[in-house]
Amino acid sequence: MGENRTTDEVSSTCDPIVKNSDLASVGITLSVDLTPLAPDATAVPCGLIAKSFFNDTYAISSVDDDVAPVEVASG
């Protein structure tokens, strides 16, 4: 909610990603602007949301086996 919190304050609600070093275990060591993350700093955002990344990939399926798949161009 826009308030700075210490690692101790968020550790119980942010498990398993509390510090940036927890992100390094899944290969994330850089911020969005490609600067290195300080390993001992509190992860922002913390929790499992810190491991997710929205990539604009969609899957469309049908329960009707007679419907052919539709090719969608990205761009």
In the chain, the amino acid numbered 57 is: T
Tell whether the model's pLDDT for residue 75 goes beyond 70.
no
pLDDT in tens, 33-62: 899 999 999 888 777 765 665 666 677 776
What is the distance in angstroms between the CA of the first residue and the CA of the last residue of the chain? 35
Residues with Cβ < 8 Å from 26, sequence gap 6 or more? 51
Q: Is 30 helix (H, G, I), strand (E, B) or coil?
A: strand
pLDDT tens for residues 2-30? 777 788 888 888 888 889 998 888 888 99
The confidence score (pLDDT) of residue 36 equals 94
Global confidence as pTM: 0.56
Cα(42)–Cα(20) distance, rounded to whole angstroms? Answer: 6
SS3 for 8? helix
